[in-house]
Structure 1
Amino acid sequence: MNRRTLLSAAAAIALALPVSAQDDPLKVGFVYVGPIGDGGWTYTHNEGRLAVEEHFGDRVETVYQESVPEGADSERVMSQMALSGADLIFTTSFGYMDPTLNVAERFPDVKFEHATGYKRADNVSTYSARFYEGRAVLGHIAGRMTESDVVGYIASYPIPEVIRGINSAFIHARKANPDVQFRVVWAYTWFDPAKEADAAQALIEQGADVILQHTDSTAPLAAAESAGGVIGFGQASDMAEYKPTPRVSSIIDNWGPYYIDRVQAVLDGTWESTDTWHGIGEEMVVIGEITDAVPEEVRAEALALRDEIASGAYHAFTGPLNRQDGTAWLAEGEVADDGTLLGMDFYVEGLTGDIPN
C-alpha cells in the first residue's frame, strides 16, 4: 500500500470515529438573546455552558455570543460559529427557529439544538422545559398571598409558551382564590430592564400586590421592592438577591444536565435529532426556595402541588376548563394534550383582555 493510500485510509478511519476518539476538542457554540448577566434566561443558559466546561474539561471548547437579536443577525452569528469549526450549536431563543433551520441546511455536518422551537431537521433538535408546571406553583402562591385580589403579569411576546404560562398561573391562582383577577401587560421584549420596570409600576398602580413575569431582568423585583408591600418571583433563575421579600420563590431553568447529555451524545457518536420537553419531574424546571415571607400553610400547599406535578399524579391543565369565551375545552378530569399546549393561542375562562396578534 503506497503512502497516499495509507493517508486516505487513516482519514477515513478518523472520520468514522466518534469525536471523543479524535485529538481536537469538541467545539460547542451558544447563541444568547440577552446578556449573560441578565440574571434570568440567558444567565441560566450560560450556567449550563459552564457546567459543560466543568464536566468535560479539555475534551470540549465552548464559545458564545450574547445579546444576539432574533432574525438576520442571529443567522450571521450561527454561520460564523459553524465556519469557525463549531461541531454543536445551541440556539437559545424562540425567534432563532427559522435562522437555525436556514444555517443548519447550509452546514449539514454541524449539529444544532434549538430551545423552545418546534421545527426540526436531521441535524436540528428541539428542546424546551414545561415552564407552565412551575407557573402553576407560583400561581398558587400568588392567589393565596394577594390581599388586593389583583395579580400583575408581565408578558414578553404572545407566543404559545408565554400564553401557556399565563393560563397555568391564572388557573392555579383562581383555584387558590376565586376572587383573584389578572392584569397582563405585554412588554414585547425578553430583556429590557427599563420597559420591565415601567410594566411593573403600571401594574402596581392598577392595584397589583403580586407581580409575575415572563421577562428576564430583575427590574420588576426592584420595582416591587421600591413600592413596598408587593411580592414577586424569580424568573428563570433564583434572583436570590431579592429574597426573602419581595422575591418569595422562583422558577429556575436547569439546563446543565441536558447540555451535558447532548454534548456526550456527540462525543459518543450517538447524537440524533430529538424533541425534548421536560418539567419538574425531570428537574429541568425547579421551584426555588420558598421564603419565610410565605405563610407555612401556603408553603406546604405549594410544595404538595409541586410534588404532585413531579410524580405525574396531577397535570397543570386538568378539566373542567373552558376557553375565555365560555366554550368547553376540557371535561372533568380530562388532561390537555401536548399538541394543544404547544400551539396554545387562547386564554382560559376568567382571564380578561385580548391576546395581541
Structure 2
Amino acid sequence: MFDTTRRRLMAGAVGLAAAASFALPAFAQDGKDTVKAAFVYVGPIGDYGWTYAHDQGRKYLEEKLGDKVETSYVENVAEGPDAERVIRQLAQEGNDIIFTTSFGFMNPTIKVAKQFPDVKFEHATGYQTGSDNMGLYNSRFYQGRAVLGTIAGMMSETGKAGYIASFPIPEVVMGINAFTLAARKVNPEFTTQVVWVSSWYDPAKEADAAKALLSQGADVITQHTDSPAPLQAAEEAGAIAFGQAWDMTSFAPNAHMTAIVDQWGPYYVKRVEALLDGTWEADNVWLGMAEGEVEMGPFNDKMPDDVKAAAQKVVDDTKAGNYEIFTGPIKDQAGEERAAEGEVIPDGDLLKMDWYVEGVQN
C-alpha cells in the first residue's frame, strides 16, 4: 500500500524537512528567454481535488508568464515504472523543468534526474533527492484541517464526524489529528470516525464510505480523498461537509461549508521565473497559510456568524504565527501524553506521525 501512495512521508524526512525551507546545493546556470515546463499528474484533471488544483496552478503559470513559458501535462500516470517512462519521455522532449506531483513519483524522478543533469526537476511531497537538479516542495494542509475542525465542532449536533481517508500515511494522519484536536477544543466529547478507502480517487468507494458514516450518526463529513462524491452524499443527507484541495461548492451548495484550497500557482511562477533569470536552486520547502499556499474557500452563508468568526480567527492567527494546532497538552488514543502543556510538536515529528489523538476512532 505504502509504495503506491502519492504522499507518503517516512521517518527519513525528519532531517530533511524539519523546517519551512532548506537550500540544497546549487550550480551555475544561465538564464533563458523561454521555458518549457511539464507536469506529471497521478489523477485526472477533472477530479476537482488534488490533480485539479495542480492543473489550476499550471494555468496560473501560463497566465502570469505568457509567452515566456510553454506548459504541458500528462494525467492519470500510475506510480512506478509507468511514471519513470513518462518522466523520461518529457525530459527527452526538451522540457526545461518537470514538476512531478505525486509522492509515488519520487524514486522515478530521482532516477531520471540523474540521467538528465541539464533538466530541472521538482517533486511534490517527497523527502529525498538524488542530485542537485532536483528540488522538493510541500504544503501544510493540516493548517486548513484545523479550520474545518473548528467549524465541525461548533456546528455538529451529534458531536460525531465521519472522515473518509485514503491511506494511513503521516500527511493523512496529521490531517485527521488536526481536525479532531480543533473540534475537541469546542466540544471535548467530539469524535471522528475514520473509514479507509485505500484510494486517492474512487468516487464510488468515497460515496459508500460517506453514506455508511452518515448512517452511523455522523452529521459532518470530511475527507482526504479527491472526488466530490462524499460532499454529494452529505448534501442528500442534510449533513455538512468540506471540499478537498479546491472549492467544491457547486457539487453540494448546501452541505459545503468551506474547503482547503491548494494554491500551487504562485510557487510554479516563482520556480519558472528563477529558471528564466538563471537563479534556480534546488530547494526543499514546506509552505502554508502564511505564504498563501494553503487557503480556505468561501464560507457558506448557511454558517452562523459566530462560526464564521471562529473559523476566520484560526486562519488569521495561523497566518500571524499565533496559532499552532499541535500545541500541548495532547494525548493519544491510549491516553498517553504526546505533548505537554504549551509544547509544540516539532515539524520532524509531524512528518513521521503514526499515532492518533484522543477522539479518533479508526
Could you say whether these structures have the same fold, taking a TM-score greater than 0.5 normalized by the shorter chain as the test?
yes
Partner of 1:11: none
Partner of 1:203: 213
Partner of 1:18: 31
- Return the match for 1:184 from 180, 194, 200: 194
Letter in 2 for 1:71: G
Query: Could you tell me the percent identity over the aligned residues?
Result: 56
C-alpha deviation, 1:68, in angstroms: 0.8
C-alpha deviation, 1:242, in angstroms: 3.5
Q: Deviations over 1:72-112 (max 9, x none)?
A: 11111101100111110111111111111111122122111
CA distance 1:16–1:225, shift in 2 (3 Å):
closer
CA distance, structure 1, for counterparts of residue 325 and residue 189 of structure 2: 20
Partner of 1:12: none
Letter in 2 for 1:28: A
Q: What secondary structure, in the 3-state scheme, does the structure 1 residue paired with 2:45 have?
A: coil
Partner of 1:250: 259
CA distance, structure 2, for counterparts of residue 108 and residue 212 of structure 1: 42
Partner of 1:167: 177
Q: Deviations over 1:173-227 (max 9, x none)?
A: 1111112111101111111111111111111111111101011111111111122
Q: CA RMSD in A?
A: 1.3
CA distance, structure 2, for counterparts of residue 105 and residue 302 of structure 1: 45
CA distance, structure 2, for counterparts of residue 154 and residue 271 of structure 1: 38
What are the residue-to-residue correspondences of 1:91-106 with 2, within 5 Å?
91-106=100-115
How many residue pairs were aligned?
Answer: 334
Partner of 2:344: 335
- Conserved in 2, the CA contact under 8 Å of 1:19 and 1:267? yes
Does residue 352 (structure 1) correspond to residue 338 (structure 2)? The answer is no
Does residue 114 (structure 1) correspond to residue 123 (structure 2)? The answer is yes
Does residue 147 (structure 1) correspond to residue 157 (structure 2)? The answer is yes
What are the residue-to-residue correspondences of 1:1-357 with 2, within 5 Å?
17-20=30-33, 25-120=34-129, 121-227=131-237, 229-242=238-251, 244-353=253-362
C-alpha deviation, 1:241, in angstroms: 0.3
C-alpha deviation, 1:350, in angstroms: 2.9
CA distance, structure 1, for counterparts of residue 314 and residue 63 of structure 2: 34
CA distance, structure 1, for counterparts of residue 189 and residue 300 of structure 2: 25
CA distance, structure 1, for counterparts of residue 333 and residue 244 of structure 2: 26
- Conserved in 1, the CA contact under 8 Å of 2:29 and 2:278? no
Letter in 2 for 1:207: G
Larger Rg: 1
Partner of 1:5: none
Q: What secondary structure, in the 3-state scheme, does the structure 2 residue paired with 1:19 have?
A: coil
- Conserved in 2, the CA contact under 8 Å of 1:244 and 1:292? no
CA distance, structure 1, for counterparts of residue 146 and residue 257 of structure 2: 15
- Conserved in 2, the CA contact under 8 Å of 1:319 and 1:331? yes
Larger mean Cα displacement after TM superposition, 304-313 or 105-114 = 105-114
Q: What secondary structure, in the 3-state scheme, does the structure 1 residue paired with 2:132 have?
A: coil
CA distance, structure 2, for counterparts of residue 160 and residue 127 of structure 1: 16
CA distance, structure 1, for counterparts of residue 176 and residue 105 of structure 2: 23
C-alpha deviation, 1:327, in angstroms: 2.1
C-alpha deviation, 1:267, in angstroms: 1.0
- Conserved in 2, the CA contact under 8 Å of 1:322 and 1:329? yes
- Conserved in 1, the CA contact under 8 Å of 2:232 and 2:252? no
CA distance, structure 1, for counterparts of residue 333 and residue 32 of structure 2: 52
Letter in 2 for 1:188: S
CA distance 1:268–1:179, shift in 2 (3 Å):
same
Larger mean Cα displacement after TM superposition, 124-133 or 112-121 = 112-121
Instruction: Flag the structure with more relative contact order, 1 or 2, with Cα contacts below 8 A and sequence separation at least 6.
Output: 2
C-alpha deviation, 1:243, in angstroms: 5.3
CA distance, structure 2, for counterparts of residue 319 and residue 208 of structure 1: 27
CA distance, structure 1, for counterparts of residue 252 and residue 228 of structure 2: 12
- Conserved in 2, the CA contact under 8 Å of 1:153 and 1:185? yes
CA distance, structure 2, for counterparts of residue 96 and residue 164 of structure 1: 21
- Conserved in 2, the CA contact under 8 Å of 1:136 and 1:171? yes
Letter in 2 for 1:349: E
- Conserved in 2, the CA contact under 8 Å of 1:170 and 1:351? yes
- Conserved in 2, the CA contact under 8 Å of 1:238 and 1:288? yes
Q: What secondary structure, in the 3-state scheme, does the structure 2 residue paired with 1:236 have?
A: coil
CA distance 1:197–1:338, shift in 2 (3 Å):
same
CA distance, structure 1, for counterparts of residue 359 and residue 58 of structure 2: 40
Structure 2, unaligned stretches of length 5 or more? 1-27
- Conserved in 2, the CA contact under 8 Å of 1:244 and 1:293? no
Partner of 1:7: none
Q: What secondary structure, in the 3-state scheme, does the structure 1 residue paired with 2:324 have?
A: coil
C-alpha deviation, 1:346, in angstroms: 1.2
Larger mean Cα displacement after TM superposition, 192-201 or 258-267 = 192-201
